[in-house]
Amino acid sequence: MGFTSSNNHDTNLPDKEFQLEKSIMNAQGKPNKHVERSARMRERILTATLDCIYENGFQKASTTEIVKRAGVSRGAMLHHYPAKELLIASAIEKLLEDEIKDIRKRAVAYADGQQTIDDFVDYLWSRFSGRLFMITIDFLSSARTDEKLRGAVIPVSLNFHDSLNEIWLQFFKNNRKSPDQVRILLNTTLCLMRGMGAQTIIREDEEYFNEIGDNWKLLLHSLLD
């Protein structure tokens, strides 16, 4: 694949490099051109990696295709991400962090009552029936037997779930349900969405999935009353 073994490299190297760049920028009090250029390159590499995983699958996301899409040299990619698991983990982190930013923007609308729990369920389904889920399901399949890969993404995965929980709590703030009951409802909803998302791989039937989603909304409304 063009990557060297992680046993021969410090897989925290890009993190250390990034912290050094931040220190330089903070010391100067303004963005440093090298820092900005390096950040843009990492952004291109990670975006290209996610696109490759989505279009070709995790196992077929070759470094040749990634560097071609990113418009960088193989050496530049290896400088930032010397090990494959580091590149993949960083790409998944970017994917989830971007989702977290979007979720937190939406949280304002939900907190103000501008959107309903039905809107939130529809939002979740849009994520679990699209690019986000298809990339993560490929990742999870590989992470199942790769402890380092799995461990690298656990923190941002928990942060992603916490961000969803912040919105979810808004719908139940005037309800008598306990925090544990509210948490279980969210987890049940997410499990339903994951299952439906997985089923879309072998079943293209929009009406079928809409019917399931609508019935789940009715159940949630009965619990909110």
pLDDT at 10: 46
Q: Mean pLDDT for each consecutive 10-residue tract of the chain (225 residues)?
A: 40 49 51 81 94 89 89 89 84 90 81 83 93 90 84 84 84 80 90 96 95 95 81
Closest Cα partner for 80 from 64, 69, 91?
Answer: 91
Give the pLDDT confidence score for residue 201 in this predicted structure: 93
pTM of the model: 0.74
Which residues lie below 8 Å from residue 44, measured CB to CB, with a gap of 6+?
A: 70, 71, 72
Write the secondary structure of 8-64 as one string of H (helix), E (strand) and C (coil): HCCCCHHHHHHHHHHHHHHHHCCCCHHHHHHHHHHHHHHHHHHHHHHHHCCCCCCHH
70 in Cβ contact with 77 (< 8 Å): yes
Q: What is the DSSP letter of 5?
A: P
Output the six-digit token pair for 37.
């250029």
- Residue 132 makes CB contacts below 8 A (sequence gap 6+) with 95, 99
CA neighbor of 125 nearest in space, from 210, 55, 48, 47: 210
Give Cβ neighbours of residue 67 (< 8 Å, ≥ 6 apart): 45, 48, 73, 74, 76, 77
**Among 85, 47, 53, residue whose Cα is nearest residue 69:** 47
At 128, list the tokens. Answer: 């679990």
Indicate the residue type of 199: Q
- Written as six digits, the tokens of 3 are 């990557």
Measured CA to CA, the distance from residue 113 to residue 123 in angstroms comes to 15
Dist CA 119 CA 54 (whole Å): 26
Please tell me what DSSP assigns to residue 146.
-
Report how far residue 220's alpha carbon sits from residue 199's, in angstroms, rounded to the nearest whole number. Answer: 22
Q: Which of 188, 195, 191 is nearest to 219 (CA)?
A: 188
pLDDT of residue 148: 81
